[in-house]
Amino acid sequence: MNPSTTGIAPVDAKALPPYAPTTYVDFTRPEHKAAFEQALADVRGQLGREHPIVIGGERMAGKATFESRNPARPSEVIGRFASGSAAQASQAVETAFRAFATWSRVPAAERAAYLVEAARRMRERRHTFSAWMVLEVGKSWAEADADTAEAVDFMEFYAREMLRYDGAHPVTQMPGEKDTMVYMPLGVGAIIPPWNFPLAITVGMTTAAIVTGNTVVVKPSSDSPAIAWQFFQLMEEIGLPPGVFNFVTGGGSTVGDTMVRHARTRFVSFTGSKAVGISINKLAAEVAHGQIWLKRVVAEMGGKDAIIVDEEADVDAAAQGVAASAFGFQGQKCSACSRAIVNEKVYDAFIEKLKPLVAKITVGEPEQPGVAMGPVINAGARDSIVNYIEAGKKEGTLIAGGGPVPGKDGWFIQPTVIGGVKPDAKIAQEEIFGPVLAVIPVKSFDEALAVANGTEYGLTGAVYTRNPEKIERARREFFVGNLYINRKCTGAMVGVHPFGGFNMSGTDSKAGGRDYLLLFLQAKSIAEKIG
């Protein structure tokens, strides 16, 4: 790879329009509905294929294969993927390390150009990428479209951010010196994304590392490898040099742990459960033989998010915001509202407003237009969520839902609401990651804030109130990384709502924000004597 000629023209910062989030598709328009139905049909024609590991541009088989399946139709195979070995994971890291020597010297404007071009092509094939998510992870049309839009936005935003970091940075000048500060890439990154935002988060984590001059080994979730494969193919198609993006599927304990432990790995970027995040942080802290740095870990690990409904709230708006936040994508978002903390003066009115909203949520195969809730991701998730629901029935009063949807083959669960829950109840403390809402009555705003902050997480939260003083208190005292006032607690937009939380929600990273690329860079101060 020649550092000055990677095969793509450098992007001109002055020619780039200002960044703006992508507008969502309106599927009520017949032409958009027809286009999406065609995309679903086209993707269906590609199901069941076998896909390789790719290291340094070389396609290879694994020690075995595993299947990705449609959670709405568990007998339907989405694709077959190679189960990588520890040796292949190690090979991928070594390959990425060699590629780093040249990729790190490619001008930032060229690296940014790859993201701009990938974003353009993804935008052109928007429905295709979304259709893969409908079939592989059970997203509704709207949720899948939002995921693809966010992926596009990450690439557009990070391309522009890299150009900003590549520019001049003000430092105090000493007499007789020329003093500068530059930002350099770190090295090889182990990228371990989740299945719940299988395109957006995979794209965001990967391209943030690549555009800053790092090379990566990506191990997608075994529940969503087909979507990650579509993204890998796109980056290969636009001419990203071999070895910059290595694609290794397989088990976390085999592939993932090897990547994290490897002496050549410089940083780990992970999104997933608290338990796995803690394990990765521990593994990364161990210094391997020959390792000459401490590994950086960027981890986003979930939440137990709350919406406070104050006695001075617009109860109608609050009920709508809670329903949307709790049951969008079956509650399988780290930002999802799993606790509604409601002042007892409006508790009954809130429940009466919430019940019809939950009752009209359509649960079914997400391929069908108008379906709001599809299946949860797999049988293990279904069983875990049902166990939480059964525990919740003992900890409170069942208001809506209560278990699996009868008569369906897939992993479908009813949107479930349990009222009268105490703040220390199991379903009020543990992350369920499913369509289960605990409603907790409180006597005051003081108590509401205490309950909201009374978990080990601190990711998202919202407050519904008309009282300006309470809003100001929430700004100061509600300990979350993303706080929303009089709106739902999901739906963070790239560049608008930098995303990431505190405590066991992760390492305080802010994806889609102006600080994020710093996690993949290191600063170098240069002082040159002059005169």
DSSP states of 207-264: HHHHHTT-EEEE---TTSHHHHHHHHHHHHHTTPPTTSEEE--S-IIIIIHHHHH-TT
Catalytic residue of the set 300, 311, 365, 367:
300
Distance CA 360, CA 338 (A): 19
* Among 339, 323, 353, CA closest to 392: 339
Active site (annotated) includes residue 334: yes
- Residue 365, number of CB atoms within 10 A of its CB: 18
* Among 303, 132, 296, CA closest to 202: 132
The residues, ordered by sequence, that sit 6+ positions from 325 with a Cβ below 8 Å of its Cβ are 305, 307, 335, 336, 337, 462, 488, 489, 490
Distance CA 81, CA 241 (A): 23
Catalytic residue of the set 156, 161, 334, 431:
334
Q: Are 523 and 171 in contact (CB under 8 A)?
A: no
Q: Are 202 and 231 in contact (CB under 8 A)?
A: yes
Active site (annotated) includes residue 337: no
454, β-bridge pairs: none
Distance CA 375, CA 364 (A): 7
3-state helix/strand/coil string of 393-441:
HHHCEEEECCCECCCCCCCCECCEEEECCCCCCHHHHCCCCCCEEEEEE
Q: Cite the active site residues.
A: 300, 334
